Amino acid sequence: MNFRTQVELPVKGAEICHSDRIMLWGSCFTENIGCLLKENKFQCDINPFGVLYNPMSIAKALNRVMEGGDYLTSDLFEARGLWHSWMHHSAFSASDKDTCLEGINTRLNLSSSFLKKSNWLIVTWGTAYVYALKEGNEVVGNCHKQPDKLFERRRLSVNEIVGEWTLLLAKLKQINPDLKIVLTVSPIRHAKDGMHGNQLSKSTLLLAVDELCKACPECLYFPSYEIMMDELRDYRFYADDMMHPSKLAVDYIWECFGNAYFGDSAKGIMKEWQDIRRGLNHKPFNPDSEAYRSFLSQIVLKINRLKEKLPYFDVQKELDQCETLLKIS
């Protein structure tokens, strides 16, 4: 007997390899998957503007990355002793406007270069609701806890999203013809929209994704929302806030993602790397023993062998960790 409804994963097509460059945009679910990709030594650029939730803000940010051009003081505003950008997460905010601009523009320039060479763009939409400044009707990426009276909140229509993203996808194809795009809808519920409002929002996003994937052959859909709602429809798969997926749920969705987009080669490299990571995390009974020094030396050998096989592998941090442990022991 089968006690769950299993979501059908995308048919195997193009595979993500460790030599690929992957850019990720979107909600905090993007951060979850992006961090797991990085942990497994994939080459990633995750959320160059910080977490963004709605399709319009993400499109606006991607357009800025494609067009280039530094942010200026006129693009910032000051509130409660900090300088902010309406398009960036508060992680970029600073008490000094030059520091704020430097952080924003450094990341912008790096991401502009990265996008042109990227093989994959993975985008997670979280909500169809947007906040637009009443003055100028500009959709913002982050309200920075400014007064509600400054904004108009509304839900995007399917046509608005599809129209904006059709233009964006055409631009992306011009600067990077071989770019493959994975679209997904975040499984995280937005309680502040109300449960009915959340369903309307997610439905809008799902309909828009469906339209785009039908029209654009380079667009693929990964069903993270459906996996959470159907396969994992039990509160034991939620975090304490009952809104975010638990670590177990994220790990399961990650496993599904791997089954959809990783080939045998990538999975083999990941297994090899996980064995090395387990060794690095090992807590020795006697860190001063010759046996532990020999154990660490073996790990260094394994890392160097992997680096020889995969020159693009960034393992400097782990080699430095081994060197430090060898000096201490």
Is there a domain that residue 227 lies in? yes
| 157 and 293 fall within a common domain | no
- The mean pLDDT of 103-132, rounded to a whole number, is 97
pLDDT the model gives residue 259: 95
Distance CA 327, CA 55 (A): 50
| pLDDT in the model for residue 11 | 83
pLDDT category at 88 given cuts 50, 70, 90 is: very high
Q: Is residue 217 part of a domain?
A: yes
- Label residues 227-254 b or e (16+ Cβ within 10 Å = b): bbbebbeeeebbeeeeebbeeebbebbb
User: Closest Cα partner for 208 from 151, 160, 155?
Assistant: 160
Going from the C-alpha of 78 to that of each of 41, 74, 133, 162, the distances in angstroms are: 38, 11, 15, 34
Within this chain, do residues 241 and 315 fall inside the same structural domain, yes or no? no
Residue 66 pLDDT exceeds 70: yes
Q: Which domain holds residue 84?
A: 21-262
CATH of the domain at 127: 3.40.50.1110
Instruction: Find the mean pLDDT for residues 133-161.
Output: 96
Q: Which pLDDT value is given to residue 284?
A: 86
Q: How confident is the model at residue 326 (pLDDT cuts 50, 70, 90)?
A: confident
- If one counts the domains in the chain, the total is 2
Specify the pTM.
Answer: 0.94
What is the distance in angstroms between the CA of the first residue and the CA of the last residue of the chain? 54
**pLDDT, position 288:** 85
Q: Give the pLDDT score at 1.
A: 63
Does one domain contain both 256 and 282?
Answer: no
313 and 293 in a common domain: yes
pLDDT computed for residue 3 by the predictor: 67
pLDDT of residue 233: 87
Residue 9 in domain: no
